[in-house]
Amino acid sequence: MEKVDYRKTFKKIYIPGTSPEITEIPSFRFAAMEGEGDPNSDEFAEATGALYSFSYAVKMSYKSKDAPSGYYDYTVFPLEGVWDLVDRTKPVEDKNNYKYTIMIRQPDFLTDELFERFISKLKKKKPQFCFDKIRYITVTEGECCQMMHLGSYESERKSFDIMEDFCRNMGFERCEMTHREIYLSDPRKTAPEKLKTVLRFRVMRIKKDDSNSGNPVPDAIETYISEHPEEIQSLLNTLNEVISEAIPDAEKRISWKMPTFWKQHNIIHFAAFKKHIGLYPGDKAILYFAEELKPYKTSKGAIQFPYDSQLPLELIAKIAKWCYETGNHH
């Protein structure tokens, strides 16, 4: 069997172009670890080291006496990460607030039994690594939007904006809050502006109006609201209506994984959490409305409205209008 090189055998999945595309990602199996916090931390480095140690142990196992049945030569797959936020009320720039599942795809011949055997051997051979935390999982992404991002990790937002615009133009929308990154460059050896990272998120096609029912299809924000409990939906619908009336010319979309009102730039976001609704008008708005916002908890660019208190709808409308009229986009 010819050597399996992901850059050639799975080129469409791992080496996309620098323009967005919609593609179907099949099910694959991964060695994976979950964590929270700054990806520049020692904990993240240790997790990455454990995954690579495991993956190369599988790769080199053909040299052992009990080589896996069905073994074939292959190139070790790149590191991937699925990213989310722990607390969406905190600034996106706060890397300590990141939540991640990092993973490396494994060859087809690696069974569950073989996985356990490799983990057992590695724990004895390299006790310094946290092999106990590695899980062997199956991931099915399905229909996705992806593109190659060239540049630093900090500049990825520009590529995500391009991807989201592409999806809307093609009749698709994001269907979950997380995104995937596939790291094709070693940041220790590559200049930030030359890093290559595959960016990907799951999408679904926006259905056209059903001519039989006559019911309009929900927009992206309505879809987001429908995924929450009924009592929360009522508050989110009210908030959505108030902002829509305050800035009727703004476009509705999902950005930064939150319902967003947009006009050439993001104007204002909102999101639902366990104990409150978060409103994100930007730090300049927080400063401008500081006196009226004294009853509420605020942080850089964010306001928290607890579920057990009434939404200040007039104030929310004023903030949305101010953001729109002053060009306080962020």
pLDDT in tens, 144-156: 999 999 999 999 9
Summarize the confidence of residues 169-180 as an average pLDDT.
Answer: 85
Amino acid 171: pLDDT: 84
The pLDDT of residue 103 is above 70: yes
Q: 285 in a domain, yes or no?
A: yes
Integer CA distances (angstroms), 298 to 101, 247, 256, 277, in order? 29, 23, 19, 12
Domain boundary among 161, 176, 205: 205
Report how far residue 31's alpha carbon sits from residue 129's, in angstroms, rounded to the nearest whole number.
14
Q: 214 in a domain, yes or no?
A: no
Q: Where are the alpha helices (DSSP H) in the chain?
A: 6-9, 11-14, 42-59, 112-125, 156-170, 220-226, 230-246, 283-288, 313-326
Q: 1 in a domain, yes or no?
A: no
Domain boundary among 181, 205, 229: 205
pLDDT in tens, 83-102: 998 887 777 788 999 999 99
Q: Could you tell me if 169 and 40 lie in one domain?
A: yes
14-28, 187-201, 265-279: least confident range: 265-279
Q: 122 in a domain, yes or no?
A: yes
Q: 270 in a domain, yes or no?
A: yes
Q: 215 in a domain, yes or no?
A: no
Q: Could you tell me if 184 and 242 lie in one domain?
A: no
Q: Using a cut of 0.75, tell me whether the model's pTM lies above it.
A: no
Taking only Cα atoms into account, the Rg of the chain, rounded to an integer number of angstroms, comes to 23
Q: Could you tell me if 112 and 250 lie in one domain?
A: no
Q: Could you tell me if 200 and 226 lie in one domain?
A: no
Q: Could you tell me if 201 and 226 lie in one domain?
A: no
Question: Is the sign of the CA dihedral 281, 287, 288, 294 positive or negative?
Answer: positive
Please tell me which residue, 207 or 61, carries the higher pLDDT value: 61
> How many C-alpha atoms does 307 have within 13 Å on its Cβ side?
14
Amino acid 165: pLDDT: 86
Amino acid 328: pLDDT: 64
Summarize the confidence of residues 108-133 as an average pLDDT.
Answer: 92
pLDDT in tens, 31-60: 999 999 999 999 999 999 999 999 999 999
Q: Could you tell me if 307 and 245 lie in one domain?
A: yes
The pLDDT of residue 186 is above 50: yes
Q: 246 in a domain, yes or no?
A: yes
Q: 211 in a domain, yes or no?
A: no
Domain range for 101 is: 6-205
Please tell me which residue, 220 or 297, carries the higher pLDDT value: 297
pLDDT in tens, 197-252: 999 999 988 765 443 444 444 467 888 898 889 989 999 999 999 999 999 999 88
Q: Could you tell me if 159 and 43 lie in one domain?
A: yes
Note whether 133 and 33 are within 8 A (CB): yes
Q: Could you tell me if 246 and 147 lie in one domain?
A: no
Kindly state the percentage of the chain with pLDDT values over 90: 68
Amino acid 207: pLDDT: 60
Q: SS3 of 91, please? A: coil
User: Among 279, 267, 271, which residue's Cα sits nearest to residue 323?
Assistant: 267
Q: Could you tell me if 297 and 194 lie in one domain?
A: no
Alpha carbon 100 to its chain centroid, in Å, reads 9
Q: What is the mean pLDDT of the chain?
A: 89
Q: How many domains does the chain have?
A: 2
Q: Could you tell me if 187 and 236 lie in one domain?
A: no
Band of residue 21 on the pLDDT scale cut at 50, 70, 90: very high
Q: Which residues contact 126 (CB under 8 A, 6 or more apart)?
A: 53
Domain boundary among 165, 180, 205: 205
Backbone phi and psi for residue 105, each to the nearest 5 degrees, phi listed first = -65, 145
Q: Could you tell me if 317 and 181 lie in one domain?
A: no
Q: Could you tell me if 190 and 70 lie in one domain?
A: yes
Q: For residue 279, what is the domain's CATH number?
A: 3.90.1150.200
Please tell me which residue, 255 or 217, carries the higher pLDDT value: 255
Q: For residue 157, what is the domain's CATH number?
A: 3.20.80.10
The pLDDT of residue 329 is above 70: no
